[in-house]
Amino acid sequence: MYRMISAMTNAALPDGADIERPTVVVIDDDVSVRESLELLIVSAGWRPLLFESAQSYLATPLLLTPCCLILDVNMPGLNGLDLQTIINTRGTRMPIIFVSGFGDVPMTVKALKGGALDFLTKPIDTMALLEAIQSALAQSEAMLRSDEELQRLRHSYDALTKREREVMIRVVKGLLNKQVAFELDISEITVKAHRGQVMRKMSARTLPELVNMAAKLRLEDSFEID
């Protein structure tokens, strides 16, 4: 199955539980490199997904499981650094491990400044690569958990009424109930009721927890208190 994927221009994702495994994407125009990396990835228990060009990778859907990218720098057409720029522009959070047939300090610096996790030279040190992949997949898993939490917070925040949002943004900015009541021209009892609803809907047990949620939602970028 993986030999078929490595030979395809647009790699089709296999069905079944295999999709749930952490995925290591390899983009390299050298078929021998792809095949050797494929064997290494499979032996480590991960799922390999192989592409011969950056263009073929860009034509596939985004992965929703922990994943990382082993990316050759020098490829015909769209090179590795160009692809990194596209990935960053799209806002796709994909840990990248660069590989290159020669050491180039400016190239390495550019890749790392672009957010690359590591830059390895060929012939690739197997242990160094395995360690880099483990670190990249752990980073990817943490990113996915963070994204899921943010999605849950947004869903909870969307469930708040307009008044509850007005109360929440003032509470997390440190205003007392009586100050919130004065600003919104409502009673302090009403503020307490709305505050209780906010805590319940946001599943916040304490005020510091609610403040942390507001920071993750970047509410300070959306609201200004006069």
Please give the domain boundaries of the chain with CATH numbers for all domains: 2-148 (3.40.50.2300), 159-221 (1.10.10.10)
Q: How far is CA 110 from CA 73, 80, 102, 144, 153, in A?
A: 11, 11, 15, 26, 35
Q: What is the pLDDT of residue 10?
A: 35
pLDDT classification of 92: cutoffs 50, 70, 90: confident
Q: What is the pLDDT of residue 114?
A: 86
Closest alpha carbon to 76 in 113, 30, 114: 30
User: pLDDT by residue (tens digit) across 59-81?
Assistant: 988 888 899 999 999 888 899 99
**Residue 29: partners with Cβ closer than 8 Å, 6 or more residues away:** 52, 53, 72, 75, 76
Question: What pTM did the predictor assign?
Answer: 0.73
Q: Is the pLDDT of residue 26 over 90?
A: yes
Q: What is the pLDDT of residue 193?
A: 97
- The pLDDT mean for the chain works out to 87
DSSP string, 155-210: HHHHTS-HHHHHHHHHHHTT--HHHHHHHHT--HHHHHHHHHHHHHHTT-SSHHHH
Average pLDDT over residues 185-205: 96
pLDDT classification of 187: cutoffs 50, 70, 90: very high
Q: Which residue has the tokens 């395995």?
A: 130
